[in-house]
Each structure stands twice: as structure tokens, then as C-alpha cells.
Amino acid sequence: MRDKTSPSSLIKFNKRKIAMAIDAICELYDVEKRHVLNPSSRKKPIPDARRMLIHYMVNQLEIKHYHIKDYLTRICHATSIYHCKKFDGYLEHEPQTRTRYLLFRKMAGEFNDKLLELEIKKDEIEKMQQEVQDILNELNQKDNGDNQSYKN
């Protein structure tokens, strides 16, 4: 269904999904949001949390490695590729990581995409309603101006 949406809707969709994912990762790894977005520490939960987030962004949200830097600081495409490969290894060999990743996807709202898409559509409808209202107001103003010129 995402293929039929406009590019700006996809950006909104990704930003909302990423925000939900960051909240879920912070809760899952018990780290602060600022550490996930801009790491200042190398304590184990922080790179693990970022690694899971990057993997999710690339594999579930289909964000290109090159564009991860637009969402997270200190990440270039090579770092993104490295983290994804490393996390794939964890998923393959560590049952605890697999379980944690499934829990994360559930917490991040992976299974509630329809609700999120409806919310985005609602925003688009409200924007269109405002545009229609602006056009109607403009037409009414022109119509009032024409009526006044006939009276004179």
C-alpha cells in the first residue's frame, strides 16, 4: 500500500516509524534517547541499541545506507553496512537477540502499520480540506468584489 502514497507521505511515514522505534529501543535497552541519537558513550547497550535501530531502518523501512546519516549522527554508509552485517550475525547466532528483535518490532508498532497509514491519510485529508477552504474563501472575495462593482 505504501507504493501508492506520495514521497512526502513516505518521509512522514518513516519519521513516525523511526520515532516509535527509538522509543521502543530506549525502553528495551534502558538507554536514554539522546544516547541513541547522538552517542557519547560506548557502554554495551548503546551501540547495541543503535545497531538494532539501523538494521530496522535498512531492512524494514527500506532506507538506503547512504540516507541513515539523515536520521542518526556519526553514521556514514560504511558504518551502516557494518552495523547491519554485525546485527545479522547476532540474529543468526544469538536466540536472545532474535527474541529481543521480535519484541522490539512489536513494541515499535511494526504490526500496526495500518493505523499509522490511516493517521497519515487523515493529515493529508485535513491539508486538502484547508486548501479547498482557502480556494472557496478566495472565490467568495472575488465574487463580493464583482458584486460591489455592479452596484456602483
Cell, residue 60: 524494514
In the predicted model, is pLDDT for residue 129 greater than 90? yes
State residue 3's pLDDT score: 45
Q: Is the model more confident about 149 or about 96?
A: 96
Q: At residue 82, does pLDDT exceed 70?
A: yes
Contact between 28 and 128 under an 8 Å Cβ cutoff? The reply is no
pTM confidence score: 0.68
Write the DSSP string, the chain.
-GGGS-HHHHHHHHHHHHHHHHHHHHHHHT--HHHHHS-----THHHHHHHHHHHHHHHTS---GGGGGGTSTT--HHHHHHHHHHHHHHHHH-HHHHHHHHHHHHHTTGGGHHHHHHHHHHHHHHHHHHHHHHHHHHHHHHHHHHHHHHH-
The CA–CA distances, whole Å, from 146 to 45, 51, 143 equal 69, 64, 5
| pLDDT at position 152 | 55
Convert the pLDDT of each residue in 2-58 to its tens digit: 444 456 666 777 888 888 899 999 999 999 999 998 888 888 899 999 999 999 999
pLDDT of residue 147: 64
Q: Tell me if 22 sits within 8 A of 5, measured CB to CB.
A: no
